[in-house]
Amino acid sequence: MGSQPNILLIFTDMQRADTIHALGNPIIKTPHLDSLVARGSAFTNCYTPSPVCVSARYAMHYGIYPHRSGCTENMQMPDDKNNSFVYHLGEAGYKTHGIGKCHFTPDSHALRGFQGREKQEEITGEPDKDDYLQALFGAGYDHITDPHGVRGEMYYIPQTAQMPARLHPTQWIGDRSIAFIEEQEKSDQPWFLFSSIIHPHPPFALPAPWHKLYRSPNMPLPMVPQDFESLWTHINRTQNRYKYRDQGIDNNLMRLIKAYYYGCVSFIDFQIGRMLESLKQTGQLNNTLIIFTSDHGEHLGDYNCFGKRSMHSTSSRVPMITCLPGTVPENNIVAQPASLVDVSATCLDAAGIADKAADMDGESLIQVAQGKSDREYVYSQWNSLGNAQYLIAGEHDNFFYSAADNKKFYFDKRVDPEETRNRAYTIGPGREQSAAMESRLLKFLQSHKVTDAFEETKDGLDWKEYPKQEFFNDPDYGLLQQDHPWAVDDIEGYTDRAKPQP
């Protein structure tokens, strides 16, 4: 492969796989992502190893599936033991730097292999340690208490950002990434840059004039199949409740949500264009491996659902594009399954230290793009307090099991690409494929000792039955309120705060 290339990993949060114009979305405007598709390989069946932020990011950072780490939810990450792919790159001579959201827990300031970080997190209790907030406040915007949009009650209410585009969180990631790229122009040291953008994660708070790029009357309605509730799992009901989206559907609002979500993606695309131009102007474009992907998807009103955490492809499938001239095939669409756990192996392969990935679960996407892999399936897992889901995803079909519902789901993507009909319980065509996928998934879980998922019976393997999760019909039960702990919310003479007794 020659000398070590630079590596730019552009990472978004909660971006669906169907949000790139060149990959089949006729409405969205993504000229710079389209250029990456033309310059490299796009993986159209890439899945997250866990459809929620922390566990997905941990799996990517260390190259292992959640069943090995035990990190299966937004929870405390296992200790860093100098085994992240970023650490290995540093040991191999790379300058490693992270900009933006890492979502490291329990220490949000940890390095976990990075030699330097510039921090921007969604929720922080220490604004003085958040580089973006310090820049925003220093520019005279210290009155803002919701820099990433108003959450809680307005989580899915599209909003205009409280700062101009030049100070927006997404623009800040672009600015700081360009600054790093320009600083490396005259250096002989290879570099790895993690540019991590919080959007299009809700709330959808766009700066002017980007908030009017798409107009709601021109947007399609969500995909809502017949008998859509039969496709729900317990976590879909729970998320709809605590995200304030379970008390009726307003189709005008649905189209506005999609307009702002698409606007967030296009504003990200604009930053990508700026990064690509910086690489070009500094002579580094053709010697930089570029990876673009996201941690998980977003239902965005499909199935009348919102959020993540379920194994429907709207939540579990993510975009994945890789580019490196002369190494990664150009204008190459790859239908073979891929996963975020592949990012580690891909970067280590590009750096010439593929042996460091020997104990990881992923494969190098460089090798997959070159047709050197025979992998048929990838996996995903999410567990939280007895509510668990397990997925096996292939090129043509997906199977997942929801423990909280004691229910199986099988989708044949050849005849039902939007996953509108659950064929797991059908009699006739489809039943045989569903049973085969279920058997493969159970055997994978057995071989990897995921003992909380299955039990052995006299007839073989079967799913371990959990108590059915209760869902409360009270419409005010479980509503989410989420604010920065430092945000001032007392208004003298108006807010009624209980005063401590002397």
Predicted confidence (pLDDT) per residue in 90-117, tens digit: 999 999 999 999 999 999 999 999 999 9
Q: What is the pLDDT of residue 474?
A: 86
DSSP string for residues in 404-442: TTTEEEEEETTT-TT--S--TT-SSTTHHHHHHHHHHHH
d(C-alpha 69, C-alpha 65), whole Å: 7
Asked if 328 and 347 count as a contact pair (C-beta separation under 8 A), the reply is: no
Q: Nearest-5° angle of CA 473, CA 479, CA 485?
A: 165
Where does CATH 3.40.720.10 sit in the chain?
Answer: 6-377
> How many angstroms separate the CA atoms of 127 and 410, rounded?
45
233-264 pLDDT, tens digit each: 999 999 999 899 999 999 999 999 999 999 99
The residues, any chain, with a CB within 8 Å of residue 89's CB and separated by 6 or more, are 7, 96, 113, 192, 347, 348, 351, 353
Q: What is the pTM of this model?
A: 0.96
Instruction: Tell me if 422 sits within 8 A of 231, measured CB to CB.
Output: yes
Say how far apart CA 351 and CA 345 lie, in whole Å. 10
In 10 A of CB 339, how many CB atoms? 29
Name the percent of the chain in helix, strand, coil, to the closest 5.
Answer: 30, 15, 50
Pairing label, strands 6-12, 191-196:
parallel
The pLDDT, as a whole number, for residue 497 is: 59
**DSSP alpha helices (H): ranges in 92-246?**
131-138, 169-183, 234-242
pLDDT at residue 1, as a whole number: 42
CATH topology of domain 382-463: Arylsulfatase, C-terminal domain (3.30.1120)
**Of 171, 122, 207, 173, residue with least CA distance to 10:** 173
Q: What is the pLDDT of residues 38-70, one digit of tens each?
A: 999 999 999 999 999 999 999 999 999 999 999
Which of these, 34, 107, 268, lies nearest to 172 by C-alpha position? 268
Cα angle 98-193-100, degrees, rounded to a multiple of 5 = 35
Amino acid letter, residue 175: D
Q: Could you give the C-alpha distances from 224 to 25, 192, 259, in angstroms and in order?
A: 18, 41, 18
**What's the 3-state SS for 319-387?**
CEEEECCCCCCCCEEECCCEECCHHHHHHHHHCCCHHHHCCCCCCCHHHHHCCCCCCCCEEEEEEECCE
The count of residues in the chain is 502
For 152-164, the three-class secondary structure string (H helix, E strand, C coil) is: HHHCCCCEECCCC
Q: For the chain, where do the domains classified as CATH 3.30.1120.10 start and end?
A: 382-463
- Give the SS3 label for residue 41: strand
What integer pLDDT is reported at residue 502 of this predicted model?
46
Q: Can you name the CATH fold of 6-377? A: Alkaline Phosphatase, subunit A (3.40.720)
What is the identity of the amino acid at 130? D
Residue 317, amino acid? R
Measured CA distances, 250 to 156, 247, 422, 446, 489 (Å): 12, 10, 26, 44, 30
For the chain, list residues with pLDDT below 70. Answer: 1-2, 488, 496-502
